[in-house]
Amino acid sequence: MKSKVELLSVWGNDNQVVNAARVSFDKAAENYTPDQNAKLIYYLAKHNHWSPFAHTGLSFRIEAPIFVARQLAKHQIGLSWNEVSRRYVKYQPGVWKPEYFRKAAESVKQGSHDEPVGNPRCLADYGYAVDLALRIYNNLIMEGVCPEQARAVLPQGMMTLWTWSGSLYAFHRVVEQRTTDYAQRETSEVAKAISNHCLDAFPVSWSALRGANL
């Protein structure tokens, strides 16, 4: 299975960012031209005046493997997270299965190369391990074991599901940190999908935050 990022809702727009900034002078976006408002947004982003970008936001429903979710859950400020609980549900979860395994990076403790691991046995062993884990989990549930204990056998490649909401600026920080060369590729894929939604909803503000030229 692959990660999925679904946009649930958006609050605000580029003009709301402008209004949050211009309230200092008791003015609003409607008092200025679109070009003047865009220039203000770029000025705010360039000089790290972040608070106006915190008055708008988005809400997502995301499905991704546990190891990706746990990296993203480290981002707390300006964000709210609610996740499916394997204490309460006992259906068999989906499992992330890669098309290939990447070689480890030699120069850093974390990271990877684009070069695939050549031995096909690696994928076969991984598939065997996760399938076995799911089979044991199902057997435990069938024997009446409580889900909160049975879940212990599930792998880190298990898919999880959560609702993630927060300000535009908070998601900017997520994307900024999770799309670098050092970020894990599977996590970057989720961050890039979030970025695409942010750009669609806030084209001027997101372009400015991401460092584009006016």
| Among candidate residues 8, 52, 14, 12, the one with its CA nearest the CA of residue 203 | 14
Structure tokens at 161: 């599901």
| Spatial distance between the Cα atoms of 62 and 171, rounded to a whole number of angstroms | 14
Answer whether 184's CB lies under 8 Å from 124's CB.
no
Residues 6+ apart with CB under 8 A from 49: 21, 43
Residues 6+ apart with CB under 8 A from 166: 57, 58, 78, 79, 80
The residues carrying an active-site annotation are 178
Residue 58 vs residues 17, 125, 168, 189, 202: alpha-carbon distances, Å? 14, 40, 7, 18, 10
Answer whether 95's CB lies under 8 Å from 130's CB.
yes
Dmax of the chain from CA atoms?
68
Half-sphere exposure of 167 (CA within 13 A, CB side): 15
